[in-house]
Amino acid sequence: MATTEQPFTGTPRKVTAHITQNEKLSFELSSPGKKAYKLPPLDVPEADPAQVLGEAARESTGALPELSEIEIIRHFTRLSTWNYAIDLGMYPLGSCTMKYNPRVNEFVSRLEGIAEAHPYQPEPLAQGSLQIIKLLQDCLIEITGMDAITLQPAAGAHGEFTGILLIRAYHKSKGNTRKNILIPDSAHGTNPATAAVCGYQVVNIKSNAQGGIDVAALEQIVDEDTAALMLTNPSTLGVFENEIHKIADILHAKGALLYMDGANMNALCGKTRPGDFGVDVMHLNLHKTFSTPHGGGGPGSGPVACKKILEPFLPVPVVEQGSDGQLHWNYDRPESVGRVRAFYGNFGMFVRALAYILANGPDGLRQTTEDAVLNANYIRKKLEDVYELPYKTPSMHEVVFSDRKQLKNGVKTGDIAKRLIDYGFHPYTVSFPLIVPGALMIEPTESESREELDLFIDAMRQIAREVEENPQLVLNAPHSTRVSRLDETTAARKPVLRWKPKAE
Amino acid sequence: MRYLPKSPAERAEMLREIGASSIDDLFSVIPEEYRLQRDLKIPRQMGESEIVDHFKNAAAHNAVGYTSFLGAGVYRHYRPVIIDSLVQRGEFLTSYTPYQAEITQGTLQAIFEFQTMICELTGMDIANASMYDGSTGAAEAVMMAVRITGRDGVVVARTVHPEYREVMETYSQHQEHSAQEVGYGADGRVDLAALDQAVTEKTACVLVQSPNFFGIVEDIPAIAEIAHKKGALLIVSIAEAVSLGIVRPPVEADIVSLEAQSFGVASSYGGPFCGVLAAKETYLRQMPGRLVGETKDKDGRRGFVLTLSTREQHIRREKATSNICTNQALVALMATIFMTVYGREGIKELALQNLAKAQYAARKLGESGKLLFAGSPRFNEFVIETSEAPEQMNARLLENKIIGGVPLKKWYPELGNATLWCATELTAKEQIDQAAAVLAETAVATTA
């Protein structure tokens, strides 16, 4: 092979190159006097801003663009075509659970009575919203096997924050907030950041040879200063902690609690319940497991479910059913940690998550989990001969390879990821978890057909061959995108964070 | 299950290729006693039409067809149709955080435009790519000020949204700083003398809201002077973004925490909304959340990337500026499209209409009670004190399908029978007149 004259160039089967439109910034397209709005005539007397606002009246609104409606439609449509998306194909970002975002979710969240509901409308006129919240809470409690829940946190990290506050309040009620939170070295970065924000010392614990918790070592570390262990299960390696209950027992014996990061709940839903295996408190990511859209980075929603012992500390307000059968918000919760967000959380995401649960039912959720795990194992089986599998422990919903074999040719995980773009796929998660040097973290989710998986596998295998025979091709990837690799160093060193009008 | 793209035969074949005899093999790592051997007790699988019916039924149990004068941090403005047409494009809706810049330039450029427009409107130098909402944004701004100044005192105006203050209290309880509240004067604005007393050499920041919770525009230059003379930072929270079309931006502030819900985002029973932090450039490295920056690729083409990520949790872990990860990107996109639609002139025209409606409504509704803080500059909200108890007044209004003002007693016991009202460009004169008529029916005005 080394003697081949033409170095190997893979043949993407999923994509064909096509042109996209160029588009400037909206400010650069602007021209004074163009309008995309028309307000109705004012039906009350005009107000004089100088009179009403005095010195607080504004003169100029700055350099907002002035464009017509067609230009705005084209502007954002053109920009949209520069994005990759789940709707275009497999998005195997490990730990992010990029599954299909059902469109009926979007439809029902826009129904007038739901989208236009104001958080302060009287409770008797908000029963619909409250019913949605109550039913979603009941479903999530049953899915997790916990006793109580708050939907208030706006995202996963916000849920972690809330969960750790519950733990702190619980320990405080016992007379001592304790000092430390234990976090495995495989954890997502939000875990230690959260513990620090809540005033705890982070104690990092090393994973064992299987990528899991070293139970014997843990037993040595846990003491009366330990507030909790923050554990992701399945771990970021996609591995189920099969000694999870022992871990819970060790913590509980010393009065410490077990926090579960529910980022990977897509591997468990309908098959096992954290509440049954000893977890005291956990968050869920509705934008992962329960199909609400990622939207280019958010909004998310991070409900926190907990056992009875933590219920008194949940954020205010909580939904309760009155003796009249009506649902109410109860603000009278003296032991509550307080509010973590104004109003009641990202309600629009609750609507979507509930629509997803109703579309699935118990059988659908179980089948979903099974398919997610099946897909990850299928990829593992089909790629384990060409990519190094650092941990041989059985995979659940994601599989983590390393770039060890490719590194011989100077190619790193980030390069393989960029080359994958040329094959029509979004890259997997690069260089995470930190315990695997050069990690390729692949989570296909249940949303991929066998055909799409085979295309992905084919792409990954072709890239592995390119690395052997034509590494430069991979190192310079992507070759097919509007822009090639961007200069991130200059971006950080001399930040340009906004457009500025050209000086006259 | 209609979302799952596999036939039973395909599943069986894949299992065979993996070398598993059944799907349960793949779950055998879960100890048997914890494997769920039954169906989850949740509603059965529904057809799409049943799901739609379920939510239509729920929607019918919410207020539909009512005239509403609710504001108080969540505002009803017209949302141009193209916002929804564009944000429902799968390329925006179903894309992830733009870490892979080559295939997410669409999201990145839109956020860059968002950051620019927020800077233009707030008078700040830099803006981030969004926070969860205005309440958590304000709490993060306070933590940012504590980091910048190395001081631990926080002075907060009581005219800041009460729920924002509750959130800040939750955030601060395990941080090493203490908050002190400063009341308001007869004009409904921060009591400047009390503020001057409260701010010391230990104060990290002063936090005010403008327009404040009563809809009154605060005297930002005067507040800034008090804060700055002791070396404290000024944080201005803005809950009603449309006000920026006609209210002078808080250019004297060090940090602005904006809730952008008013820019084309549905009230949606309180979320998702879109917080955003803007600040003076010198505070860039202490700014939490994601930032998009302009750069070039190797051929010199302009492109955008997430930048300065060394502030963030995925790099810094327990030493990060914040634990925030997910933001509100799609909602920020809605706000971006809204700002683009209204543009330089429209945002002002829109704000002027709000100003006029609120002036008219305050005058009409004030006839049946007392308009509090009457001479102060205000945007689209106002406080009315009635002799009638707010619950009773609102019950009478509801009989006429009108949702009246928010009773303030819960947060401000001294304001007894006062209610907070809001009128926007969507509030018709007819609706205001009708509400005024209902109020006048039996109300005995307190002496003005």
CB A239 within 8 A of CB A207: no
Q: Closest Cα partner for B309 from B280, B284, B282, B277?
A: B284
- Assign domain A104-357 to a CATH class: alpha beta
In this complex, do A116 and B76 lie within 8 Å of one another by their Cβ atoms?
yes
Residue B356 lies in a domain: yes
Predicted TM-score of the model (pTM): 0.97
- Among chain A residues, the shortest Cα distance to B46 is held by A359
Dihedral pair phi/psi, residue B276, rounded to 5°: -155, 140
Whether B332 and B376 share a structural domain: no
The answer to whether B12 faces chain A, any CB pair under 8 Å, is no
Enumerate residues 6+ apart whose C-beta is below 8 A from A165: A198, A313, A337, A340, B170, B174
Share of chain B above pLDDT 70, in %: 98
Q: Closest Cα partner for B325 from A315, A298, A398?
A: A298
Residue B146 lies in a domain: yes
Among the partner residues B46, B90, B319, nearest to A85 by beta-carbon distance: B90
Secondary structure class of A103 (helix, strand, coil): helix
Task: Let me know if B13 is exposed, middle or buried by CB neighbors in 10 A (0-12, 13-18, 19+).
Answer: middle
B69, B94, B333: which to substitute to probe chain A, counting the most A Cβ within 10 Å? Answer: B94
Measure the CA–CA gap between B192 and B378, rounded to whole angstroms: 18
CB B144 within 8 A of CB B131: no
Among the partner residues A81, A297, A448, nearest to B327 by beta-carbon distance: A297
In this complex, do A61 and B294 lie within 8 Å of one another by their Cβ atoms?
no
Whether B315 and B382 share a structural domain: no
Measure the CA–CA gap between B211 and B159, rounded to whole angstroms: 9
Whether B285 and B348 share a structural domain: no
Measure the CA–CA gap between A465 and A64, rounded to whole angstroms: 50
Among the partner residues B42, B56, B170, nearest to A142 by beta-carbon distance: B42
Q: Dmax over Cα atoms in chain A, in whole Å?
A: 85
**Euclidean distance between the first and final Cα of chain A, in Å?**
60
Measure the CA–CA gap between B59 and B53, rounded to whole angstroms: 10
In this complex, do B43 and A361 lie within 8 Å of one another by their Cβ atoms?
yes
Residues 290-309 of B with CB under 8 A from A: 290-299, 301-305, 307-309
> Min CA distance, A167 vs chain B (Å)?
12
Using one digit for the tens of pLDDT, what is the confidence trace for B179-193? Answer: 899 999 999 999 999
The answer to whether B174 faces chain A, any CB pair under 8 Å, is yes
**Torsion sign across C-alpha atoms A335, A340, A342, A343:** negative
Whether B196 and B238 share a structural domain: yes
Whether B387 and B359 share a structural domain: yes
Measure the CA–CA gap between A37 and B346, rounded to whole angstroms: 7
The answer to whether B431 faces chain A, any CB pair under 8 Å, is no
Residue B417 lies in a domain: yes
Measure the CA–CA gap between A430 and A210, rounded to whole angstroms: 20
Per-residue pLDDT of chain A (504 residues; tens, 9 = 90+): 455 578 999 999 999 988 999 999 999 999 999 999 999 999 999 999 999 999 999 988 888 999 999 999 999 999 999 999 999 999 999 999 999 999 999 999 999 999 999 999 999 999 999 999 999 999 999 999 999 999 999 999 999 999 999 999 999 999 999 999 999 999 998 999 999 989 899 999 999 988 899 999 999 999 999 999 999 999 999 999 989 999 999 999 999 999 999 999 999 999 999 999 999 999 999 999 999 999 999 999 999 999 999 999 999 999 999 999 999 999 999 999 999 999 999 999 999 999 999 999 999 999 999 999 999 999 999 999 999 999 999 999 999 999 999 999 999 999 999 999 999 999 999 988 999 999 999 999 999 999 999 999 999 999 999 999 999 999 999 999 999 999 999 999 999 999 998 875
CB A333 within 8 A of CB A312: yes
Contacts of B338 in chain A (CB under 8 A): none
Dihedral pair phi/psi, residue A442, rounded to 5°: -115, 120
Task: Let me know if B326 is exposed, middle or buried by CB neighbors in 10 A (0-12, 13-18, 19+).
Answer: buried
What separation in angstroms does the CA of B180 have from each of A88, A175, A496, B155?
52, 26, 37, 5
Among the partner residues A139, A154, A276, nearest to B133 by beta-carbon distance: A154
Using one digit for the tens of pLDDT, what is the confidence trace for B126-159? Answer: 999 999 999 999 999 999 999 999 999 999 999 9
Q: Which domain holds residue B114?
A: 81-338
* Residue at a domain's end among B294, B313, B338: B338
In this complex, do A342 and B58 lie within 8 Å of one another by their Cβ atoms?
no
Residue B14 lies in a domain: no
Whether B199 and B243 share a structural domain: yes
Among the partner residues A189, A348, A448, nearest to B317 by beta-carbon distance: A189
Contacts of B312 in chain A (CB under 8 A): 189
By DSSP bridging, strand B255-259 and strand B275-279 are antiparallel
In this complex, do B270 and A342 lie within 8 Å of one another by their Cβ atoms?
yes
pLDDT of residue A274: 98
Among the partner residues A57, A343, A361, nearest to B163 by beta-carbon distance: A343
Residues 342-361 of B with CB under 8 A from A: 342-350, 352-353, 355-360
Residue B445 predicted with pLDDT over 60: no
Cα B5 to the center of its chain, rounded Å: 38
In this complex, do A52 and B267 lie within 8 Å of one another by their Cβ atoms?
no
CB B239 within 8 A of CB B401: no
Burial code of A423-450, b = ≥16 C-beta within 10 A, e = fewer? bbbbbbbbbbbebbebbbbbbbbbbbeb
**Tally of domains within chain B:** 2
Contacts of B113 in chain A (CB under 8 A): 25-27, 499
A112, A341, A432, A499: which to substitute to probe chain B, counting the most B Cβ within 10 Å? Answer: A341
Whether B139 and B225 share a structural domain: yes
More confident residue, A5 or B303: B303
Residue B448 predicted with pLDDT over 50: no
What separation in angstroms does the CA of A310 have from each of A162, A170, A307, B173?
11, 6, 6, 18
Mean pLDDT score across all residues of chain B: 95
Enumerate the domain spans of chain A: 104-357
Secondary structure class of A110 (helix, strand, coil): coil
Q: Closest Cα partner for A410 from A487, A472, A479?
A: A472
A37, A235, A237: which to substitute to probe chain B, counting the most B Cβ within 10 Å? Answer: A37
Exposure on the CB side of residue A378, measured as CA atoms within 13 A: 30
Confidence category of residue B178, pLDDT binned at 50, 70, 90 = confident
At A407, the amino acid letter reads L
Whether B350 and B330 share a structural domain: no
For chain B, state the CA radius of gyration. 25
- Which CATH number fits the domain that encloses residue B377? 3.90.1150.10
> What are the tokens at B384?
């009315």
Confidence category of residue B405, pLDDT binned at 50, 70, 90 = very high
* Residue at a domain's end among B338, B370, B400: B338
What separation in angstroms does the CA of A180 have from each of A30, A171, A213, A277, B269?
55, 12, 17, 23, 37
Cis peptide before B272 (omega within 30 of 0): yes
The answer to whether B124 faces chain A, any CB pair under 8 Å, is no
**B12 forms bridges with which residues in the sheet?**
none
Burial code of B159-174, b = ≥16 C-beta within 10 A, e = fewer? bbbbbbbbbbebbbbb
Q: Classify residue A473 by its DSSP letter.
A: H
Dihedral through CA A105, CA A106, CA A112, CA A116, nearest 10?
100
Whether B140 and B185 share a structural domain: yes
What separation in angstroms does the CA of B271 have from each of A153, B70, B192, B267, B442?
11, 15, 34, 7, 37
At B59, the amino acid letter reads A
In this complex, do A396 and B29 lie within 8 Å of one another by their Cβ atoms?
yes
Whether B334 and B231 share a structural domain: yes
In this complex, do A417 and B100 lie within 8 Å of one another by their Cβ atoms?
yes
pLDDT of residue A211: 86
The answer to whether B122 faces chain A, any CB pair under 8 Å, is no
CB A403 within 8 A of CB A411: yes
In this complex, do B106 and A62 lie within 8 Å of one another by their Cβ atoms?
no
Contacts of A297 in chain B (CB under 8 A): 96-98, 107, 129-130, 290, 326-330
Dihedral through CA B120, CA B123, CA B128, CA B132, nearest 10?
-100
Burial code of B230-246, b = ≥16 C-beta within 10 A, e = fewer? bebbbbbbbbbbbbbbb
Sheet strands (E) in B249-386:
255-259, 275-279, 292-296, 302-306, 370-371, 381-385
- Which CATH number fits the domain that encloses residue B242? 3.40.640.10
B10, B88, B96: which to substitute to probe chain A, counting the most A Cβ within 10 Å? Answer: B96
* Residue at a domain's end among B321, B338, B355: B338
pLDDT of residue B327: 83
Residue B118 lies in a domain: yes
Whether B324 and B432 share a structural domain: no
Residue B448 lies in a domain: no
Whether B350 and B323 share a structural domain: no
> What are the tokens at B206?
């002063």
Whether ipTM > 0.85 holds is: yes
B29, B37, B40, B46: which to substitute to probe chain A, counting the most A Cβ within 10 Å? Answer: B40
The answer to whether B448 faces chain A, any CB pair under 8 Å, is no
Confidence category of residue B283, pLDDT binned at 50, 70, 90 = very high
Enumerate residues 6+ apart whose C-beta is below 8 A from A192: A183, A202, A204, B313, B317, B318
pLDDT of residue A192: 94
Measure the CA–CA gap between B269 and A119, rounded to whole angstroms: 4
Instruction: Calculate ∠ Cα A278-A279-A280, nearest 5°.
Output: 115
